[in-house]
Amino acid sequence: MRYFAEIAYLGSNYHGWQVQPNAKTVQGDLDFVLSKLLRTEINTIGSGRTDTGVHCAQQYAQFDIDEDLNGKNFLHRANSFLNNDIAIKSLWEVKKDAHARFDAVKRSYRYDIVLEKSPFKQGLIWQYFRQPDFDKLQEAAKVLLEFEDFTAFSKMHADVNTHICDIMSSSWTKEGNNLSFHITANRFLRGMIRIIVGNMMEVGMGRMSIDYMRETLALKDRKRAAKYLAPGQGLFLSEVIYPEDTFIREIYD
């Protein structure tokens, strides 16, 4: 049987989602706990790969096991063993050929910025002590909708076959001294949103023109864009959407 575990995590103490040698990762901790509980080696596949320090409100982790977990108190036991930075929110039986990464049709991220010192949001937000022009930020967000190739806004040596992304929405919201950037697309490239936010903040501060940002995207010039990289702690993977027929039933304790 194939399962999707819906998880959330605080990324501050992790070197991102994906398992890597000699580093603490969300996937590594999750695989360890699932393997212990299910008494077999579990290697999950995530719906996305977040970078070091990036947080997640909704991620799906796929795993297979020949056991019906309904009524087995699985969620309670798993959450008891996982440290407080990771939570399994729900568990679903899915179609046998469902794929957590490749079947997702939409992914949404949010990037949070506060324009003042905020002791209660350390590690959860980018504290930026200058006032950007909000109208310019909004204009820069709209520029992204003009493009499909985001080579300029990706890190070097990314293991991908294409830099084409279908951005469906891109906008900023403001409430008091709190700014949030919201973006939804079918897929994202490594480091893409942090580079996007860094470049938009340059526009908002008047240090970069809209035309320069548009030209950078058209030229696919990583060197011009990648030096403006927003820190990881303000970024959240907020939602992952699949076709409705992906899910068969929710598993209960």
Which of these, 116, 86, 221, 102, lies nearest to 161 by C-alpha position? 102
Helix (H, G, I), strand (E, B) or coil at 193: helix
From the list 51, 159, 166, 245, the catalytic residue is 51
| 12 token code pair | 């501050």
| Residue 112 designated active-site | no
| DSSP secondary structure string for all residues of 119-169 | GGGTTTSEE--S---HHHHHHHHHHGGG-SB-GGGS-TT---S--B--EEE
Separation in Å, CA 1 to CA 52, 87, 152, 246? 31, 22, 41, 13
| 147 token code pair | 């493009």
Q: Mind telling me the catalytic residues? A: 51
